[in-house]
Amino acid sequence: MDHKEGQYKVADLSLADAGRMRIEWAESRMPVLMKLREEYSKTQPFKGYKITGCLHVTKETAVLIETLKACGAEVAWSGCNPLSTNDSVSAALALGPNGDGDGVEIYAWYGQDTEDFYWCIDRTIDKTPDTTLDDGADLIFRVHSAFPEKTKDIIGGSEETTTGVHRLRAMAEDGKLGYPVYAVNDAETKWDFDNVYGTGQSTIDGILRASSVLIAGKNFVVAGYGHCGRGVAMRAKGMGANVIVTEVKATAALKATLDGMRVMPMEEAAKVGDIFVTATGMKDIIRGEHFLSMKEGAIVCNTGHYDVELNLQELAEVSTDARMIRDDNREYTMENGKKVYVLADGRLVNLAAAEGHPSEVMDMSFANQLQAHLALIRSHEAGEEMENTVLDLPEELDQEIAEIKLETMGLSIDKLTDEQVVYATDYSAGT
């Protein structure tokens, strides 16, 4: 472990060169964020502000972090999951773009225990942040629970995930939220891209890297048919699987059915599934009794934010043996003699076993993150009152981000003519 107090704690600084190339690779696939970097590095809107983040330390996050820095911010960062940090990337971030040590404050390595996890977060809070940037809301919860006095000095925050936003809304409704938070997840250019196409592909990627099994012809069970679950189901189908969906929400179940998936309760799905992925944001989706009813050789994983969707404690209780059979793939031999395989110990398989969402979708998600923090700083500087609640980014922003994205992809679209603009709101025209 390489540790320099107040600056970084990462696994191995010698990995920095490899990490730097990964970051460059990501930069080449994130044109929207790079364009915003170019623009705002001139005006330095974050000059004098400290942005603290807690979000998977991947090559894409590195592009966000270095963009924030390029636009003037002082940045401190921790990973938001014990198994999602890429050690080469964290090393490169610590040493900075030129490898000369002019990096950002970063505390992150792959394979942490809970104590490590909070130690890292706490280090990023040491100097009070002006804004916080979350993925799963652990940083913001930590500030509220362990450093409540700091909330009043914080201008605002942002949250990346469905799960996190869901919880922050509950907290706000309860009057417990200490500062305003932008629901970056709820921007259309985030949830309708990152969650669907990003989670879809990267989950398949994670499963393949950890198991290398043929997807075609498999009964592929997806728990949850929200944006993430739909993305996973769509891609599993695209790889030739027969997809089964479990749900608790009737409208989602119906959509899955009309999309050609089979719908059934987990109790039944457990018996016929070959591969299982949970994407619900809920705990205890696959429990001891489900594991016991599975077929020999079933593969089970989770792509939801927290590692609570698979109840591995119950699995351990009904197992007589467990061993790692390959990276990110643990074989449990159950008391009934059957074996099941759990990938990435129930943590998000796309980040632990693969590289998380592709750069191309993080490009838009992180453009929204950048914009959220710009909005917080602007409101602050304009002296605007912001309620301590969960805020939405303006919808125009989605069109702006999407327009840049299309442009960078070399695609152009139509524009309304003047007459069409008039027609759009002319309620007198009829049949």
Residue whose CB is less far from a copy of itself, 114 or 313 = 114
Indicate which single residue of 101, 297, 321, 381 sits in contact with a copy of itself (rule: CB under 8 A).
297
Nearest distance from C-beta of residue 158 to a copy of itself, angstroms: 17
What the block records as the tokens of 322 is 């467990």
Tell me if 82 contacts a copy of itself by CB under 8 A: yes
- Contacts (CB under 8 A) with a copy of itself, residues 89-148: 114, 117, 136-138, 141, 145
Residue whose CB is less far from a copy of itself, 282 or 379 = 282
Give the whole-angstrom CA distance, residue 286 versus residue 275. 12
Nearest distance from C-beta of residue 250 to a copy of itself, angstroms: 3
Query: What H or E segment, with its residue span, contains residue 69?
Result: helix 59-70
Burial of 39 (0-12, 13-18, 19+ CB in 10 A): exposed
Residue whose CB is less far from a copy of itself, 105 or 398 = 398
Tell me if 354 contacts a copy of itself by CB under 8 A: yes
In three-state secondary structure terms, 383 is coil
**Per-residue mark of binding to a copy of itself, 22-61 (x: CB under 8 A):** x-xx--xx--------------------------------
Report whether 229 belongs to an annotated binding site: yes
**Per-residue mark of binding to a copy of itself, 200-239 (x: CB under 8 A):** xx--xx--xx-xxxxxxx-----------------x-xxx
Give the whole-angstrom CA distance, residue 285 versus residue 308. 8
Tell me if 260 contacts a copy of itself by CB under 8 A: yes
What the block records as the tokens of 91 is 């090393």
Residue whose CB is less far from a copy of itself, 234 or 376 = 234
* Sign of the C-alpha dihedral computed for residues 281, 284, 290 and 292 taken in this order: positive
Q: Per-residue DSSP letters for 160-188?
A: --HHHHHHHHHHHHTT---S-EEEGGGSH
Give the whole-angstrom CA distance, residue 263 versus residue 271. 14
Strand order of the β-sheet with 319-326 is: 262-263, 242-246, 219-223, 275-278, 298-302, 339-343, 329-334, 319-326
DSSP letter at 196 equals: I
Q: Strands 219-223 and 275-278: what pairing?
A: parallel
Query: What H or E segment, with its residue span, contains residue 233?
Result: helix 227-238
Residue whose CB is less far from a copy of itself, 49 or 117 = 117
Indicate which single residue of 91, 120, 263, 315 sits in contact with a copy of itself (rule: CB under 8 A).
263
Give the whole-angstrom CA distance, residue 229 versus residue 196. 8
Residue whose CB is less far from a copy of itself, 47 or 216 = 216
Residues constituting the chain:
431
| Number of residues in contact with a copy of itself under rule CB under 8 A | 112
Query: By CB under 8 A, which span of 34-42, 75-83, 96-104, 372-380 interacts with a copy of itself?
Result: 75-83
Number of Cβ atoms within 10 Å of the Cβ of 418: 7
Query: By CB under 8 A, which span of 38-46, 67-75, 196-204, 366-374 interacts with a copy of itself?
Result: 196-204
Tell me if 271 contacts a copy of itself by CB under 8 A: no
Query: By CB under 8 A, which span of 39-47, 150-158, 314-322, 324-332 interacts with a copy of itself?
Result: 324-332
Give the whole-angstrom CA distance, residue 348 versus residue 360. 19
- Contacts (CB under 8 A) with a copy of itself, residues 357-416: 358-361, 398-399, 402-403, 405-406, 409-416
Report whether 5 belongs to an annotated binding site: no
Report whether 226 belongs to an annotated binding site: yes
Tell me if 179 contacts a copy of itself by CB under 8 A: no
Tell me if 282 contacts a copy of itself by CB under 8 A: yes
Q: Strands 242-246 and 329-334: what pairing?
A: unpaired
**Residues flagged as binding site for NAD(+):** 161-163, 195, 224-231, 247, 350, 357
